[in-house]
Amino acid sequence: MSTETIAGSWFRYFPEHYLWSQIMSALINIAPMGGSNFHEIDQVGKRLAGKEGDTGAWGESWAWMADKTLALAEAEDKKGHARTAAAAYVRCAIYRFNAERFVHPDNPEKADSYRALLPHYEKGIKRQVPGFERVEVPYEEGPLPAYWLPPLHPTGNDPAVAFFDGLDASKEITVLWGGLALRERGIGVLCIDGPGQGEALRLRNIPSRHDYEAAGTAAFDYLDAREGVDSARIGIMAMSFGGYYAPRIAAFEHRYAACLAWGAHFDYHEVWVHRRKVLEAGGTVSSSAIWQLPWVLGKPDMDSAMEKCALYTLEGIAEKIRMPICITHGHDDNIVPVEMAHRLYAACGSEDKELKIFTVEDGGSQHCVNDNLPMVRGWIGDWWMDRFGTGG
């Protein structure tokens, strides 16, 4: 039996492997948004039974399902079943993204796998979301790739939210997690891969930086210049590791109208000190492989990554936030303790601030509430709808 302490009551597909279970939970939870199909996930799970921790088996199994779902998409396309094909194209891309989850970045297969999924994902989403665009956001180290999702019923003067990822997600994921929910509520969404994220990291070698307001300013400038966007109603949001990024941006880029941290951070270095100990001891309570941090931060090894990570703190920074802010967190988050949310809330300088801790009684309480994404994305979508008065 595992010696790891895991808080909260939640469904674990692999009871003795937290990380694999966390990923499976997130995948199951994006089924209502079109990112997966439970039967397909379960087929992969059955192939992986008894192989917990075998990263090769993980990659092979998800690549198998990605290929299988792509074949379905192409077959339905030939029959003229455009909507069925579109749904399968999106799912095959998400499965392929998960196939490269534990492939080391030194292995060219990682970038190749991600590069291969992009045209399929974009083909599927474009059919499902009228007005969907792939865009490039000007940025000092080279343009940042992003997707633009217009409001469901554009008025010509609509609010918008810049939505950044976390440590190991991408814009393909954030579209499903929150982008579609905001769009349905009358809000345009820029799902963007910032420095150290998704395509910007995998295909453009742009690492993360602690002064993330540089990327936040680039996103605001893009939205501010976009026709049909109300410049007075542009918000900033980010998930997971982005719970550091979004408040950091809010502290320095005061043109944003509001901020939401989807999973809070206050001292990222402190979190990784604990996480490193767990991973090096063979534990699985984490959101990623141990090499993920050096790769994201653009450092050659864990020691140098930890040195850079010391800069990722909101101590003395959160006090500079003046805009309305909402901080969300799962009460039983095993990856980032709920204490971080309380510390951020206490330090935040905004007079208009809200702290929402999701519990088991609410329906989900894990990291970013990925054990009940349909519930939390609806709550977050409604928060933005109320904030911007769209009445969607």
d(CA 379, CA 385): 10
pLDDT for position 2: 38
* Alpha carbon separation from 34 to 27, 28, 58, 92, 267 (Å, rounded): 10, 10, 22, 11, 34
* Alpha carbon separation from 362 to 67, 277, 341, 377 (Å, rounded): 37, 31, 17, 13
pTM of the model: 0.96
pLDDT for position 278: 86
State the alpha helices, DSSP H only, in 253-372: 268-280, 292-297, 302-309, 339-347
Of 3.30.470.20, 3.40.50.970, 3.40.50.620, 3.40.50.1820, which CATH number belongs to 131-392?
Answer: 3.40.50.1820
pLDDT tens digit sequence for 61-119 = 999 999 999 999 999 999 999 999 999 999 999 999 999 999 999 999 999 999 999 99
16-128: CATH class: mainly alpha
Task: For the chain, list residues with pLDDT below 50.
Answer: 1-3
Domain edges within the chain: 16-128, 131-392
Using the Cα atoms of residue 236, residue 172, residue 373 and residue 12 in order, give the sign of their dihedral: negative
Name the token pair of 30: 């994006």
The residue type found at 241 is F
E strand or H helix at 159, and its extent?
A: strand 158-164
Q: Return the closest-CA partner of residue 287 out of 246, 319, 333.
A: 333
Residues 368/239, Cβ–Cβ less than 8 Å:
yes
pLDDT tens digit sequence for 242-279 = 999 999 999 999 999 999 999 999 999 999 999 998 88
